Structure 1
Amino acid sequence: MTPRLWAAATLAVLLVGLTVYAALVVPWHRPPAPRADQVAALRDFPAGQVARARAFHSALRPGSYGSMAIGLIGALVLGLTPLGARLVTWAGRPFGDYWIARVVLGGLLIVLVVEVLTLPFAAWRHRIVVEYGISTQTWGAWALDLAKSYAVGAVIGGLTLLGFFTVTRLAPRWWWAFGAAGAALLVVLLSFVLPVVVEPIFNKFTPMAAGPLRTELMELAARDGVPVKDVLVADASRRTRAVNAYVSGFGPTRRIVVYDTMLTEATPDEVVSVTAHELGHAKRQDVLTGTIIGALGAAVAVIALYLLGSLGWLLRWAGAESMGEPRAIALLLALVTLAGLVGGPVQALVSRRIEARADEHALTLTGDPATFEAMQRRLGTVNLSDPDPPAWEYVMSASHPSTVERMAAARAYARGER
């Protein structure tokens, strides 16, 4: 068979494997929280609080969806016209058009253009979260975090592009195979590296002081059969008033992380309840599940890009001769951006199912639905979550069940129905 037929066959096998794996590991058929309980839970929120949360999200939407639209338009204009190819060529020209300069500097320039286009919307969102008392950051601190985020993205993106186009040069007919394997390996590597290397760039982590809460959290993890190395406190208060906790890392690097805001806003029992939810993710190896799905999806994407290279009209629009040359960088990023938006609702659905299972784990592990419900109410209140968001927005982007869904699940559990 020709390389293209091998690529098509491999793509079909990976798609089947991805579908089967997702069907087996994602809890698709979780029973919905009783609607009557959701309505009752919504009534328990003060009307003023619900109105404030909805006003907050209404104020955020122009910035959020404006950024999404402009980012997509910018990516498509750069990728589906010769403009992106010209920028890549221009970036490499001071370095003798050397291909590495085109790949790294050209790729970063394409990304930078899109980031600059969406920067005003990011500033809009920051102004809103400060106005509503969620963010504690000054403009200077916000800009510094933004620069750190861009720097991390530039390093990861630059190395990824360099690796990709090195493969296309060394194996021009079979780069799709090596590229797919490399993309899958990169996803796995980042899952291990990011929590340990990148998180400290944005937050300072200190061991939780010895005391009843730390002892209870460690004992909770031991009782759940999820070994953790330590309990850390993140200095989240220097940028937000939001509360949260999570379990980070794999194996010997796994640790429970609690926002310092949670220690001041929530009761110890509520901290335990949130931690039990996060232990549910570790117990079910949800991060590993997401990593495998992401790795398979990355491999599929690389092979799909290779096959799209047979569409001569697409390459002509982009001003490139093949998907494997640096002038196609803008086209690659445009296709990835488009695929991300199209696949967003599916990713959100998968996330909601997994989060609902982690909620059930927390209820079972603690046996305390009253505290679980109180914690969900507190999360919604402090973080200004819309307790019952619009259906269209929920389907498009909600990564967690709504606050009233989670409260309703706790009430159903208390009656012995879940």
Structure 2
Amino acid sequence: MDFTPEEVARGRALRRAQAPWVLGGRVAGLGLTAVLGFTSAGAGLVTAVGGVFGGSRTAEVLGGAAALLVLGQLLQLPFGARVRSVRAGYGLVTQGWGGWAVDVLRGLGLSLLLGLPAVYGLYALTAWSPQRWWLPAAGAAAVLLVALSFLYPLLVEPLFNRFTPMPPGPQRSALLGLAERDRVAVRDVLVADASRRTTALNAYVSGFGATRRIVAYDTLLSTAEPSEVELVVAHELGHVKHRDVLTGTALGALGAAMAVALLGLLLTLRPLLDASGAADAADPRSLPLLAACAALVSALSGPAQCAVSRRIETRADRHALELTGDPAQFIAMQRRLAVTNISDVDPPRLLELLFATHPSATRRIAAARAWRS
């Protein structure tokens, strides 16, 4: 028995306590975008906010986009706060409410900083051609996603965590040696101050090429055995070895381009435009409709994305086993991660199929035993 009945029950209880709020937040978000996008309420919002800032087309585009982002964030606040409270009750949260609020504001600021220029450029294209705007927009979306993938470790990650080089010693040498044995070039080994927010354990490989570095949570380094840390990193090196990040970025860019093309088609449908109160795609009042269609496409594609992610994670697990040749320690590591993170080690299959990006702990342990045999 890998997990005691108490550990299984604790993970299941946490999942049941936070699931209504996590799922409720998703449903509420979709509901808000649907109401604003598929009725004239969103058009009225764009017109009203644009009027406050002068009533120009630019004011409607930027004001409407900002209003949608802020409203979405406000709607998610009670759900996010409740999930945080539940997790705090299980000892997974170390950050105070003030720090949490600062993170929420940082996230909103980042969304506005990235989203408003993108929306402005998009509606410049719709003004150029209400029918063919999606052609250059699809290419721009693909390029933007690739650029963000490269810049995220350098510009976004430092906004939420502080990273310090791991001091010289056996652990750093072992991790660099593991990467060298795997023929994966890494620039450095960094420690993230995750303990400011959580007790959860994690590590990852971040960046591309010359910016690639191994990042380990300080919680992992202070809790896990050195060999367990190596196995977590070996799993992450598997993503690099199999070019999962590059492939994911390429597929994401392709998916972004296809999504924009689909949105271009949807915004030509007269019934949708009439319901939203917009004249055509160039009308700033179509912005809520665009957001609603994008949210719906994202929600419908979620299970397929999760299925692909689980296959990728399974392959990275196998890589870790092949690189270390230590299935017993792999099983111990999976047990430590599941118990410390209070995971539901064997969730309902439907929830796993719809929302899980990783296989359950029991499936990963069973795969390790099968690999050993």
Instruction: Please indicate the TM-score interval, normalised by the length of the shorter structure.
Output: over 0.9
Matching residue's letter, 1:192: F
**Residue 173 of structure 1: how far off its partner (Å):** 4.1
The correspondence for 1:162, drawn from 117, 120, 129, is 120
Q: Deviations over 1:282-338 (max 9, x none)?
A: 111111111111111111111111112231111011110112332111111111111
Q: Distance in 2 between matches of 1:225 and 1:332?
A: 45
**Residue 346 of structure 1: how far off its partner (Å):** 0.3
Equivalent residue, structure 1, for 2:149 = 191
Aligned residue for 1:388, secondary structure, equals: coil
CA contact (8 A) 2:194 2:217 kept: yes
The correspondence for 1:95, drawn from 53, 56, 67, is 53
**Residue 402 of structure 1: how far off its partner (Å):** 0.6
The correspondence for 1:309, drawn from 255, 267, 272, is 267
Aligned residue for 1:256, secondary structure, equals: strand
C-alpha RMSD of the superposition? 1.0
Q: Quick check: 1:286 aligned with 2:249?
A: no
CA contact (8 A) 2:184 2:241 kept: yes
**Residue 120 of structure 1: how far off its partner (Å):** 0.9
Normalised by the length of structure 2, the TM-score is: 0.98
Matching residue's letter, 2:31: I
CA contact (8 A) 1:82 1:318 kept: yes
Q: Distance in 1 between matches of 2:116 and 2:313?
A: 33
The correspondence for 2:103, drawn from 145, 152, 155, is 145
**Residue 114 of structure 1: how far off its partner (Å):** 2.3
Equivalent residue, structure 2, for 1:51 = 9
**Residue 70 of structure 1: how far off its partner (Å):** 0.9
Q: Distance in 2 between matches of 1:386 and 1:367?
A: 27
**Aligned pairs for 1:357-396 within 5 A:** 357-396=315-354
Q: Quick check: 1:210 aligned with 2:168?
A: yes
The correspondence for 2:232, drawn from 265, 274, 277, is 274
Q: Deviations over 1:169-201 (max 9, x none)?
A: 234443111111001111111110111100000
Aligned residue for 2:184, secondary structure, equals: coil
Equivalent residue, structure 2, for 1:104 = 62
Q: Quick check: 1:335 aligned with 2:277?
A: no
CA contact (8 A) 1:305 1:323 kept: no
Unmatched runs of 5 consecutive residues or more in structure 1: 1-42
The correspondence for 2:77, drawn from 97, 116, 119, is 119
Matching residue's letter, 1:345: P
Aligned residue for 2:289, secondary structure, equals: helix
- Between 124-133 and 105-114, report the one with greater CA deviation: 105-114
Q: Distance in 1 between matches of 2:38 and 2:130?
A: 23
Q: Deviations over 1:140-164 (max 9, x none)?
A: 1111111111111111111211111
Q: Distance in 1 between matches of 2:196 and 2:267?
A: 47
Q: Distance in 2 between matches of 1:359 and 1:279?
A: 10
Aligned residue for 1:198, secondary structure, equals: helix
The correspondence for 1:256, drawn from 214, 225, 234, is 214
Matching residue's letter, 1:231: V
Q: Distance in 2 between matches of 1:310 and 1:164?
A: 16
CA contact (8 A) 2:69 2:111 kept: no
Aligned residues: 373
Q: Deviations over 1:108-127 (max 9, x none)?
A: 10122122122111111010
Identity value in percent: 50
Q: Distance in 2 between matches of 1:174 and 1:75?
A: 25
Aligned residue for 2:191, secondary structure, equals: strand
Q: Distance in 1 between matches of 2:282 and 2:150?
A: 29
Q: Distance in 1 between matches of 2:371 and 2:173?
A: 27
Q: Distance in 2 between matches of 1:165 and 1:95?
A: 17
CA contact (8 A) 2:129 2:282 kept: no
Q: Deviations over 1:228-258 (max 9, x none)?
A: 0000000000000000000000000000000
Unmatched runs of 5 consecutive residues or more in structure 2: none
Q: Quick check: 1:129 aligned with 2:80?
A: no
The correspondence for 1:321, drawn from 279, 283, 286, is 279
Equivalent residue, structure 2, for 1:174 = 132
Q: Quick check: 1:356 aligned with 2:279?
A: no
Equivalent residue, structure 2, for 1:237 = 195
Q: Distance in 2 between matches of 1:118 and 1:146?
A: 10
- Between 133-142 and 196-205, report the one with greater CA deviation: 133-142
